[in-house]
Structure 1
Amino acid sequence: MSGMPWQDEHWARLQARRARGAMPHALLICGPEGLGKRAFAERFVRGLLCLQPVDGEACGHCRSCALQAAGTHPDRVTLTYGLRKDGVQRSEIVIDQIRELSARLAMSSQFGGWQIASIDPADALNGAAANALLKTLEEPAAQTMLVLVADAPWRLPQTIRSRCQRVEFHLPAAEQALAWLESQGVTDAAAALQAAGGNPGLAQRWAQEGSLDRRREVRKDLAALAAGRGEAMDVVRRWLDSEPAQRVWFAAQAVAEEAKAKLSGAAGPLASALEPAALADWYASANRARESLRGPLRGDLTLLELLARWR
């Protein structure tokens, strides 16, 4: 299993710690979605449990690797969203799950090596679960490692973050990201990377999903509304029908470009009548709307309010 090029430094650092017997008892692998955090965590855990690793990489053939591939390795636990009593998936990780995990980790390793527990997404721990996990972090058992994976590490309590060795991925340089996208066969890599805000993983996925067409549609919608054409409610219906949060992201991008153009004295691509300060306010409102679309509020009202302000 090979990693993405921007992961190489983190990989080398962890393997150096492994070579000198200085592995941490807890890792927090974090950073924006799309940079391969979960693939990195999987690669690392498989290599750590492998009986015959090569430069930290799992051999793929030993008994441990076979058990991991089957999902039955006795020294590996994966914790994510559980089910409620009525069978509905939870939206958070709860204290009972952490208590069960702690009891499992208190037992001895069956292979005589590491016991590894992965928590993903760790930023979904509720308050009680986070407090329970803190006790495990404060009194780690020998040869036990917690691997926390989080897109939004700031949602974790500082007390947990401070007890983990942080492996944080940042957006790579544009040249490296473009080279990787082209190696993956992404056509129009530059446009895809711009749409994804410099995130190569998202750029690859969005290019495959046809999101660049969606981005062009959003810009046309905003330009039409700015010119007094069309109805905001019609736009809301279309946006709700297909990736509304992504469409708002594309709208925020376009408005940021509009504001930048106006500040330089040029005509913006959307021909909006709003001044730069008002455009900045709308950009902030768009980002809040993206968060609201992930919650329980009605998406149509959220988008209608946003687009009414734009028009």
Structure 2
Amino acid sequence: MNGQPWHAEHWARLQARRRREALPHALLLCGAAGLGKRAFAQRFVQGLLCSESAVGDACGHCRSCLLLAAGSHPDVVTLSFGLRKDGVQRSEIVVDQIRELSARLAMSSQFGGWQVALIDPADAMNPAAANALLKTLEEPAAQTMLILLADAPWRLPQTIRSRCQRIEFQLPATADALAWLQAEGVRDAPAALAAASGNPGLARAWAGEGALERRQEVRRDLAALAAGRGQPTEVVKRWLDSEPAQRLWFAAQAAADEIRARSLPGNGPLASALDVEALGHWYDAANRTREGLRGPLRADLLLLELLAQWR
């Protein structure tokens, strides 16, 4: 079967609904980045529109499949970050985009079957855009499918979430994730999976881009700062030069490991002077700082404040 092994249950349930002709008009595919939501959505849309699908999977050679492969199927539209009038890419999905989408979906399907709209990332809709989408969700046209993809579904209004059939992708069991990574040829799969906190998709991606070395650098930096060596400003510069969000992920991981180590005799691996309660607050602060990188505040000041607290 195609797709990641941890997709199997969701796939079977969705195909059972399709056989009963009971598909919802709106799906919300959510869960951590790296678990294959987008691949799942692509596979589902291909099978839904294919004229010769078998067990939900597309044939790959009919007219619909060929048009989808070329990105020119008239009954499929993907909505993401658009461009502003000055040509700069937006950082959110705006109301005008949703209004254009709703007008498109109000028209008849050109192939006489399903019309499909994918909104990705749906959690990037601003409040006005989310409100505009509500009417389409409440009054869907026949054989219209809205698929919302979100890494952070909590950013979506409850009014949107409640009107979608939610498919939530969870982390697979460690043994299953390791087996898949090894089948994918990932070297040092256990270390990669630990770095990705059990997320096999992230582990595969990170294993090939030097993330494991970056993780060790973060731990060395934190240990040095805890021992009074080095300057936070130097660490901030290096972190900003290479994957700062990923480094903050690893920093939060390191703090969590330090907290767990306090239950054993001796110091933690980073020899932090912070007590367990302070480490817990720092762990939360590291995650907030990672989120803060998405906003308008200066990243260097956010990182400097965080590392100064650690030291």
Shared fold (TM-score, shorter chain, > 0.5): yes
Residue 15 of structure 2 is matched in structure 1 by 15
Residue 300 of structure 1 is matched in structure 2 by 300
Superposed counterparts of 1:69-84, under 5 Å: 69-84=69-84
Q: How many residues align?
A: 311
Secondary structure of 1:24's aligned partner: coil
Residue 100 of structure 2 is matched in structure 1 by 100
Counterpart Cα distance in 1 of 2:251 and 2:25 = 43
1:229-256 Cα distance to aligned partner (Å, 9 max, x none): 1111111111111011111111111111
Residue 45 of structure 1 is matched in structure 2 by 45
Secondary structure of 2:300's aligned partner: helix
Secondary structure of 1:147's aligned partner: strand
Q: Give the CA deviation at 1:87.
A: 1.0
Secondary structure of 1:308's aligned partner: helix
Counterpart Cα distance in 1 of 2:40 and 2:208 = 22
Counterpart Cα distance in 2 of 1:135 and 1:232 = 50
Counterpart Cα distance in 2 of 1:61 and 1:131 = 39
Q: Give the CA deviation at 1:128.
A: 1.0
1:54-94 Cα distance to aligned partner (Å, 9 max, x none): 11001110011111111111111111111111111111111
Residue 178 of structure 1 is matched in structure 2 by 178
Counterpart Cα distance in 2 of 1:83 and 1:48 = 30
Residue 33 of structure 1 is matched in structure 2 by 33
Q: State the TM-score, normalized to the length of structure 2.
A: 0.98
Superposed counterparts of 1:134-173, under 5 Å: 134-173=134-173
Q: Is the Cα contact below 8 Å between 1:32 and 1:169 reproduced in 2?
A: yes
Q: Give the CA deviation at 1:102.
A: 0.9
Secondary structure of 1:117's aligned partner: strand
Counterpart Cα distance in 2 of 1:142 and 1:205 = 39
Residue 309 of structure 1 is matched in structure 2 by 309
Task: Report the residue type matching 1:167 in the other structure.
Answer: I
Q: Give the CA deviation at 1:126.
A: 0.9
Superposed counterparts of 1:194-209, under 5 Å: 194-209=194-209
Residue 241 of structure 1 is matched in structure 2 by 241
Q: State the TM-score, normalized to the length of structure 1.
A: 0.98
Counterpart Cα distance in 2 of 1:172 and 1:37 = 14
Q: Give the CA deviation at 1:293.
A: 1.6
Counterpart Cα distance in 1 of 2:106 and 2:281 = 52
Task: Report the residue type matching 2:49 in the other structure.
Answer: L
Counterpart Cα distance in 2 of 1:197 and 1:115 = 37
Secondary structure of 1:295's aligned partner: coil
Task: Report the residue type matching 1:273 in the other structure.
Answer: A
Residue 287 of structure 1 is matched in structure 2 by 287
Counterpart Cα distance in 1 of 2:293 and 2:118 = 28
| Structure 1 unmatched ranges of 5 or more | none
Q: Is the Cα contact below 8 Å between 1:79 and 1:119 reproduced in 2?
A: yes
Task: Report the residue type matching 1:114 in the other structure.
Answer: W
Identity %: 75
Q: Give the CA deviation at 1:122.
A: 0.5
Q: Give the CA deviation at 1:215.
A: 0.5
Q: Is the Cα contact below 8 Å between 1:114 and 1:145 reproduced in 2?
A: yes
Counterpart Cα distance in 2 of 1:282 and 1:292 = 15
Task: Report the residue type matching 2:73 in the other structure.
Answer: H
Counterpart Cα distance in 2 of 1:120 and 1:211 = 26
Residue 277 of structure 2 is matched in structure 1 by 277
Residue 222 of structure 2 is matched in structure 1 by 222
Alignment RMSD? 1.0
Counterpart Cα distance in 1 of 2:248 and 2:71 = 38
Counterpart Cα distance in 1 of 2:225 and 2:187 = 31
Q: Is the Cα contact below 8 Å between 1:263 and 1:276 reproduced in 2?
A: no
1:137-188 Cα distance to aligned partner (Å, 9 max, x none): 1001111110111111111111111111111101111011000000000011
Secondary structure of 2:208's aligned partner: helix
Secondary structure of 2:159's aligned partner: helix
| Structure 2 unmatched ranges of 5 or more | none
